[in-house]
Amino acid sequence: MHAFSAAVGTLDLRHGLNKGHPTTPIAQAVRPSQRKGIQSARTKFVRSVVREVAGFSPYERRVMELLRNSKDKKARKFTKKRVSVVFRECDGHRIDRDVRFLQLGTLLRAKRKLEELSTIIQESRRAH
């Protein structure tokens, strides 16, 4: 009964599963929040240019060296713990910077970074 009513829709009835005035659904525009994480072509291009000009950061070079020497677990642990800048707050105002070892965020971010660096290593092997 429910499958039939879903297929038919409303039939301008007062009672029952198909009650209500028949309407056409309005196509909703995609919200900006639904695009989160999708990389645009421009962003991809800009990041590739920056990577080409600036190269890799020191921690990325170390991770790539660990991956080349097949120390995957050590590389994963090191990637998850990397240097980041923390502001010490005093009465709600940021007064000075303090560099410490903190968590990168999540293990998922570390895995993504490892995946990115390992594909770069594979591409460099194919190129030579």
Total domains in the chain come to 1
Residue 22 lies in a domain: no
> Which domain covers residue 48, as residue numbers?
39-127
Of all residues in the chain, what percent carry a pLDDT higher than 90? 35
For residue range 12-51, what is the model confidence (pLDDT) as tens digits? 778 888 888 888 889 999 898 888 878 899 999 998 999 9
| 59 lies in some domain | yes
Q: Does 30 reside within a domain?
A: no
Residue found by looking up tokens 């994963």 in the block: 76
Q: What is the pLDDT of residues 79-98, one digit of tens each?
A: 888 744 334 445 555 545 54
Residue 100 counted as domain residue: yes
Structure tokens at 90: 């005093």
**pLDDT at site 108:** 82
State how far the Cα of 99 lies from the Cα of 88, in Å rounded to an integer: 10
CATH number at residue 102: 1.10.10.1760
Q: What percent of the chain has pLDDT over 70?
A: 74
Assigned domain for 43 exists: yes
